[in-house]
């Protein structure tokens, strides 16, 4: 199976600073880039951005159950993600990408925030049927803390490993991993070749600026580590720049961060 996993960050598909606000221009462009790149098997995973994160944060979903008052918040987070996923899938369909929504949060359970056993057979069969499954970060049940947020970053890495993807591409709103948060530090440098074993102590990756409950760039690199160790090529690139996703999907070189052991 010639397969790629494309994770579209919440910072790409939504306007993070405005609640429930899509980045319509970005998703229209990305949908047409995916359509024209064509070809091989593709799974898309998206983040929550200004749809999922504010609710998840308000009801403190990610650290698990502490009060019944959180219960409607769990469901509201779900509903917001369903809405975002629906807009994204419709946009892909309009661009003639045979996208299909997969509501994995109904069948994935985490163990203390980590995906345990999961069967992605359904996703595999969609790909083999020629469709493009679209999954997303969401509120999920947890065996230890009752519920949590499963990030799109973690889900994408696990899909890449289980489905033996060739590549895992994280599309974000910056060019990749920098020596410091490029939104806060003007002389931050892009690290084009990031060796995970040398990372500790060398880089201060920092936290994302906005309302993310899942750890920003640091969390992304941590979640991607398991995929890198499983031999998947992992790229982190700027999905807000024209043709970066197109070029990456075509296997052409793009400015980005490549992760390696």
Binding site for ligand ADP (CB under 6 A): 9-12, 47, 172-174, 177-178, 180-183, 205-206, 208-209, 212, 216-217
Classified as helix, coil or strand, 221 is helix
Q: Read off the DSSP letter of residue 9.
A: P
Closest contact distance (angstroms) between CB of 261 and ligand ADP is 19
H/E stretch holding 100: strand 99-101
Closest CB to ligand ADP among residues 7, 124? 7
Between 124 and 153, CB nearer to ligand ADP? 153
Q: How far is the CB of 189 from ligand ADP (least distance, A)?
A: 10
Give min distance, CB of 85 to ligand ADP, in A. 15
Half-sphere exposure (Cβ direction) of 117: Cα atoms closer than 13 Å: 0
Contact 43, 133 (CB under 8 A): yes
SS3 at position 232: coil
Rounded Cα gap, residues 218 and 234, in angstroms? 15
Nearer to ligand ADP, 127 or 177 (CB): 177
Q: Which is nearer to ligand ADP, 142 or 212 (CB)?
A: 212
| Cβ distance to ligand ADP smaller for residue 11 or 148 | 11
Give me the least distance between CB of 220 and ligand ADP, in Å please. 6
Least distance between ligand ADP and beta carbon 28 (Å): 18
Q: Which value, to the nearest 10 degrees, does the dihedral of the CA atoms of residues 18, 104, 168, 36 take?
A: -70
> Among all residues, whose Cβ is closest to ligand ADP?
9
Which strands make up the sheet holding 109-111, listed edge to edge?
A: 114-115, 109-111, 138-142, 146-150
Task: Indicate the pairing of strand 138-142 with strand 132-136.
Answer: unpaired
């Amino acid at each position: 199976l010639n397969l790629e996993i494309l994770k579209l960050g919440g910072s790409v598909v939504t306007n993070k600073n405005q609640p429930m606000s899509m980045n319509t221009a970005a998703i229209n462009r990305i949908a047409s880039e995916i359509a024209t790149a064509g070809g091989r098997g593709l799974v898309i995973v998206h983040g929550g951005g200004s749809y999922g994160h504010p609710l998840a944060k308000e009801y403190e979903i990610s650290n698990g159950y502490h009060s019944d008052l959180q219960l409607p918040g769990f469901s509201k987070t779900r509903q917001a993600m369903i809405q975002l996923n629906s807009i994204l899938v419709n946009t892909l369909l309009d661009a003639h990408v045979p996208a299909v929504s997969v509501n994995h949060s109904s069948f994935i359970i985490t163990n203390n925030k980590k995906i345990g056993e999961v069967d992605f057979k359904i996703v595999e069969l969609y790909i083999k049927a020629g469709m493009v499954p679209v999954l997303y970060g969401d509120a999920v049940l947890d065996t230890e803390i009752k519920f949590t947020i499963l990030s799109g970053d973690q889900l994408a890495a696990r899909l890449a490993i289980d489905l033996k993807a060739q590549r895992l591409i994280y599309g974000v709103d910056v060019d990749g991993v920098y020596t410091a948060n490029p939104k806060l530090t003007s002389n931050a440098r892009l690290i084009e070749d990031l060796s995970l074993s040398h990372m500790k102590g060398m880089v201060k990756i920092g936290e994302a600026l906005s309302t993310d409950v899942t750890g920003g760039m640091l969390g992304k690199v941590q979640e991607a580590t398991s995929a890198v160790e499983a031999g998947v090529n992992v790229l982190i690139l700027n999905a807000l720049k024209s043709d970066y996703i197109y070029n990456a999907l075509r296997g052409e070189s793009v400015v980005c961060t490549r992760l390696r052991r």
